[in-house]
Chains A and B, each alone.
Chain A
Amino acid sequence: MEIMTSNTETIPGFRITKSLGVATGSTVRAKHIGKDILAGLKNIVGGELKAYTELLMEARTEALGRMMLDAAQRGGNAVVNVRFATSSVAGGAAELFAYGTAVIVEQE
């Protein structure tokens, strides 16, 4: 069964029948030195730093996956009102955090 995710309070066309609490997922990632040097060179001309973009997206996908796993363990079939939070931990490491409300929804 696939878990639906949404950053709206309700999913249009679905009714929330039960709330199962807050589902969370997080991951801490550090950049590695090779990517750092490449990004530093790219920084000379400015614009997108692809190495960091990919790293952050990968980490955020993992955090979201853990959140969905948490929701599944609570017995939900959807997560609504998903929010993201990002914080810098010491020395160039970043914590990516995703949280939302695990709910059971049924089609109207």
Chain B
Amino acid sequence: MYDMLESEQIWLLVIYAIIFVFIAFFPTAFIYSMLFGWLHQSRRRKKLIAREQRVAAISGGDNIHTLSQPISMEKASIAGLVMTNITVSPSWWQLFLGNIKSIFGGQIKSYDKVLAYGRAEVLQRLREQALGEGWTEIINVRVETSMVMNKVKGGQQNKIGTLEFLAYGTGIK
């Protein structure tokens, strides 16, 4: 009798603990997002600026451009498609701010930062890939934006705001 009661109590404790974790997770994550989200993002932005400067020093300017003819050479001996991508999403706090802001309309600064970072990062990756694969320059660069990997069941569309940036161009050497 006594033993059974004890095992029942343990089970109850376990169930309470699971319920507590589930209830506590979302507010904790939200507060974490509010306090430390900007820290994670600004750290990544600083790294990106350092990488941009390093590549600019190596290539002496920029090795990607959107023209359809190469600048530094007349004829290419080999050409190939170079592409790279990134998937970004705003943090929970930025989504929350954006949702509030979208009631009144106007510029949504919290999304601005995320999208600007995504575009700059994807172009930087293209530059680094060009250096790594030995292309002299990349011509006809295009950046495409798509919203994939979202839930498309009714009302759930793009709930977490995931965006994919794709940058591609023709590498020549």
Contacts and interface: CB of A to CB of B under 8 A. Distances in A.
Interface string B64-79: 0000111001111111
B69 A52 contact: no
A40 B160 contact: yes
A64 B169 CA distance: 14
B169 A46 contact: no
B162 interface: yes
Given A12-B75, A40-B160, A49 B87 contact: yes
B149 A6 contact: no
Given A7-B168, A14-B76, A48 B86 contact: yes
Contact of A86 (B73, B81, B148, B151): B148
Q: Chain B, interface size: which category?
A: 35 or more
- In terms of DSSP, what is the predominant structure of the interface of chain B? mixed
B36 interface: yes
Given A46-B41, A48-B121, A92-B149, A7 B170 contact: yes
Contact of A6 (B36, B80, B84): B80
B74 A5 contact: no
B150 interface: yes
Contact of A46 (B68, B80, B90, B151): B90
A56 B85 contact: yes
B32 interface: yes
A101 B83 CA distance: 18
Given A6-B170, A43-B91, A46-B114, A52 B162 contact: yes
A16 to B, nearest CB: 13
Contacts of A46: 33, 37, 40-41, 88-92, 94, 114
Contacts of A40: 160
A76 to B, nearest CB: 14
A7 B140 contact: yes
Contacts of A92: 149-152
B149 A47 contact: no
27 contacts: A4-B78, A6-B170, A7-B81, A7-B169, A8-B139, A11-B76, A12-B69, A12-B73, A12-B75, A12-B76, A39-B162, A45-B40, A45-B91, A46-B37, A46-B90, A46-B91, A46-B92, A47-B40, A47-B88, A49-B89, A49-B162, A56-B164, A60-B83, A60-B85, A86-B148, A88-B147, A90-B152
Given A6-B80, A12-B79, 10 more contacts: A4-B79, A6-B79, A44-B30, A45-B41, A48-B121, A52-B87, A56-B148, A86-B148, A88-B150, A92-B150
